[in-house]
């Protein structure tokens, strides 16, 4: 029994203390937002709820902060019909958030989107010196979109050494609630093979000990 407890404590220690399993840091403040081109979708650019209802600016900002809670803001865009010209400012509904601390390229973004499959958005990840990297994201069957940041290491090194903000802008109109239905944005460590090996070794050891104990009875 003591050996089982020891192995369990070892596995628990890895899960709790290794950075791969650290708690997700969710956005805790909004640094900017705008409704974009209000001639598309419904009348004013920010929507939420099971039936699309117009959100006030404070409601829209609150919807994207903290852990996923099924409260979301829909960010409509109409890029397919009216593409944004190269070099022009982003013109669709957009929200930008900050976190309790900066984050580096050893992390991954965890974006929760509650809408339909294939809804897309433009992602802006801002560095300390005001630079940014951009990419288009499209949700699949799951509500969670994971973005590995490791490929941006060179860029971040030349632009302040860390990220500090994330912006998301809608690109399409979706179905029931037009736009990218954003619930939460978090940052967490990318799981490392070393931690997974430690956990796996502990589980194998526990199974071996139990088999040996049964054989002696």
Q: Are 45 and 93 in contact (CB under 8 A)?
A: yes
Q: Are 22 and 189 in contact (CB under 8 A)?
A: yes
Concatenated DSSP letters of 28-64: -EEEEEE---TTSSSSSS-EETTTTEEPPHHHHHHHT
Instruction: Return the biggest CA–CA distance within the chain.
Output: 76
Confirm whether 89 is domain-assigned.
yes
pLDDT score of 2:
46
Number of CB atoms found within 10 A of residue 197's CB: 11
Which residue range is the domain that position 53 belongs to? 27-193
155 class by beta-carbon count within 10 Å (0-12 exposed, 13-18 middle, 19+ buried): middle
Confirm whether 216 is domain-assigned.
no
b/e burial code for range 119-149 (CB count within 10 A of at least 16 → b): bbbbbbbbbeeeeebeeebebeeebebebeb
One digit per residue, pLDDT tens: the chain, 217 residues? 544 444 444 445 444 444 444 589 999 999 999 888 766 655 456 776 555 677 888 989 999 999 999 999 888 888 888 888 888 899 999 999 999 999 999 999 999 998 877 899 999 999 999 999 999 999 999 999 999 999 999 999 999 999 999 999 999 876 666 789 999 999 999 876 554 455 455 555 555 555 555 555 5
Confirm whether 21 is domain-assigned.
no
How far is the C-alpha of 163 from the C-alpha of 109, rounded, in Å?
Answer: 11
Confirm whether 4 is domain-assigned.
no
Q: Which of 115, 122, 116 is nearest to 78 (CA)?
A: 122
pLDDT score of 41:
54
Confirm whether 210 is domain-assigned.
no
Token pair 């802008």 is at which residue? Answer: 169
pLDDT score of 101:
96
pTM of the model: 0.77
Which tokens is 69 given?
């809670």
Q: Which of 31, 27, 60 is nearest to 45 (CA)?
A: 60
22 class by beta-carbon count within 10 Å (0-12 exposed, 13-18 middle, 19+ buried): middle
Confirm whether 120 is domain-assigned.
yes
Q: How many domains does the chain have?
A: 1
Q: In sequence order, what are the beta bridge partners of 134?
A: 124
How far is the C-alpha of 73 from the C-alpha of 53, rounded, in Å?
Answer: 10
Confirm whether 155 is domain-assigned.
yes
What CATH number corresponds to the domain at position 95?
2.60.120
Confirm whether 209 is domain-assigned.
no
């Amino acid at each position: 029994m003591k050996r089982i407890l020891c192995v369990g404590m070892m596995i628990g220690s890895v899960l709790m203390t290794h950075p791969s399993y650290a708690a997700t840091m969710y956005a805790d403040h909004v640094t900017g937002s705008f409704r974009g081109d209000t001639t598309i979708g419904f009348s004013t650019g920010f929507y939420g709820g099971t039936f699309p209802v117009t959100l006030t600016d404070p409601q829209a900002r609150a919807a994207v902060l903290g852990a996923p809670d099924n409260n979301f803001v829909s960010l409509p865009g109409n890029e397919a019909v009216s593409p944004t010209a190269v070099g022009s400012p982003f013109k669709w509904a957009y929200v930008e958030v900050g976190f309790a601390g900066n984050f580096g390229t050893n992390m991954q973004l965890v974006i929760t989107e509650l809408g339909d499959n294939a809804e897309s958005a433009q992602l802006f990840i801002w560095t300390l010196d005001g630079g940014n990297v951009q990419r288009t994201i499209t949700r699949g069957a799951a509500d969670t979109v994971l973005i590995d940041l490791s490929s941006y290491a060179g860029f971040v090194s030349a632009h302040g050494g860390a990220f500090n903000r994330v912006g998301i802008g809608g690109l399409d109109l979706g179905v029931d609630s037009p736009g990218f239905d954003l619930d939460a944005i978090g940052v967490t460590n990318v799981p490392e093979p070393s931690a997974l090996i430690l956990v796996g070794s502990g589980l194998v050891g526990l199974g071996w000990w139990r088999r040996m104990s049964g054989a002696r009875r």
